[in-house]
Chain A
């Protein structure tokens, strides 16, 4: 753990794979700029890998005032021990006040390990981050300008705000798509700080034997229209209907966690706090109730159409259009109408 350091930078872990950045670190940089603006401190990205120097500029263009670049053959493949050591060394040296990580498979492996090593707090899958004051209810101590880590809490329609007042850095993970990404500004130049990894061979306990990548099955973030199904769809077969509708509309298919858990649709399709966050022009919610964790990932959709046979379903409360009825009747009608190119004027 490091002591509270008000001058500390706001850091973003710049996850990359084979020299390519995903969107999450860029989305996080946008948020980091906002937080750092309120705190009047700098934003820095932490970039580890082999031959990654070239992407440092992209991080600057997206808002990093500074990029710590640790370029080393030993960092070519992600592994917990080596990445943890390098990032922890950097944290001890530069004492950032905030560290943000993508809630990706790598981020969810690395961030908790660092939190354990630094004995600091970590909040998973935040749906919003803000700066605010916190009064300790026990000691009445007032902590100014803490990172407010906001996420739905288990137990219904509730949102919890978590803080780490004493044991810094304040750390959080955020899913892809939660934070909106700002435009890159090629004129923005950041300071590049090259750092030696200082890694020894024994700090690489895992040997990679073989690896296979598959492209992501669906790009939900890019879809203009999303047809999302929930437990109410009833089966994998039922989801075929949703794929048909999505295809007709040139959209993509999403699912609730219940639909994913029930095996109706692959996890890549999950929308919500622990899935992907989307903001399509039209979100068609079919047979899903709209639990708080699900809404967290879709409530900023421009238009929401809910099809549900329960008038009390929370999804209808945030919908713009609603059909209260059996999805097995309504969806085929929708498909038929759209296929006929109809819709009366």
Chain B
């Protein structure tokens, strides 16, 4: 086995509200979004990151791990990763991680990623709910990995030196760096492979402990003793684990995170104020969509020297 065959590749992925599909239904009267009406999706560029990881594994050998932080329902994107070919997946879930800004998020992810001893970490360039593109670079800094943003193409890898093409906005460049590296991946880098039917069959029942617990909660009467429920849950976990379908679930202790750097206390940015914008509306001059209307509109624009 070559040295690279033992390569550990870790992808950090996020489940996001589908900001691309804000339909009328999802809008409240005050013009804000009803988040619960928005479907949760695999952040698009994180799918490109998963694809890049699978490509690396296919070409150079190794193991692909996919990691996400979020509520138990975020396990959906872990199953999606399994369907596409990921070897191992992990959920970091902990209420104390809520309200983390990008700095606290990258700290928590770094604690978890370190456990997996990666040679290469991949993140999508940015998540569509914020477009900040900050977590990837911050994670690289926390890990002490060489950062290469905006991946377009994996060109080659030789003796732990990776060569890639990256997008620099007004063009591209090819760079080389020694592993370990963290790459952020653009949507233009690849086309994510579809789910494999066989893997869907195999992994559709994969779940984290919290999901099993939720099912037990729904099944058993409210007043059931907590320890009975816990025992039920342990049993269910054991059964799934035997089939290799129990998704690992970590809390902040499991990854050795210092609570001071997580959640609200670990986040230097604070919300000072949220303002709703009220649009007055209706003050525009309307022209009908007819020949005459368009003619009048153009006339007016010429008259006041806006065009012409």
Contacts and interface: CB of A to CB of B under 8 A. Distances in A.
A275 to B, nearest CB: 10
B260 to A, nearest CB: 11
A105 B287 contact: no
Contact of B298 (A80, A117, A314, A334): A334
B289 interface: yes
Given A119-B103, A162-B272, A317 B282 contact: yes
A66 to B, nearest CB: 26
A295 B144 CA distance: 39
A333 B295 CA distance: 9
Interface stretch (B57-65, B163-171, B214-222, B237-245): B163-171
A262 to B, nearest CB: 9
Interface of A: 1, 80-81, 84, 104-106, 108-109, 111-113, 115-117, 119-125, 132, 134, 136, 146, 148-149, 153-167, 205-216, 225, 249, 258, 261, 273-274, 281-282, 291-292, 302-303, 305-306, 314, 316-326, 329-330, 333-334, 337-338, 342-345
13 contacts: A108-B134, A115-B102, A122-B102, A155-B35, A156-B33, A161-B274, A209-B174, A211-B172, A321-B301, A324-B286, A337-B298, A338-B298, A343-B300
A115 B138 CA distance: 7
Nearest to B145: A205
Nearest to B21: A258
Interface of A is mostly: mixed
A112 B169 contact: no
B293 to A, nearest CB: 7
Interface string B149-189: 11000000000000100011111111111100000000000
A217 to B, nearest CB: 9
B268 A212 contact: no
Contacts of A292: 277
Contact of A116 (B103, B172, B271): B103
Interface residues of B, number: 85
A209 B163 contact: yes
A166 B265 CA distance: 11
Contact of A210 (B28, B167, B174): B174
Given A116-B137, A161-B271, A162-B272, A109 B284 contact: no
Contacts of A116: 103, 106, 137-139, 141-142
A121 B268 contact: yes
B279 A321 contact: no
B188 to A, nearest CB: 9
Given A316-B284, A322-B287, 18 more contacts: A80-B149, A108-B134, A116-B142, A121-B269, A156-B30, A160-B271, A162-B269, A165-B270, A212-B173, A215-B170, A302-B306, A314-B279, A317-B281, A317-B282, A321-B300, A334-B294, A337-B295, A343-B295
Given A314-B279, A333-B291, A208 B167 contact: no
Contacts of B149: 80, 105, 108-109
Nearest to A330: B289
Contact of B141 (A84, A153, A165, A337): A84
Contacts of B256: none
Contacts of B297: 305, 321, 323, 334, 343
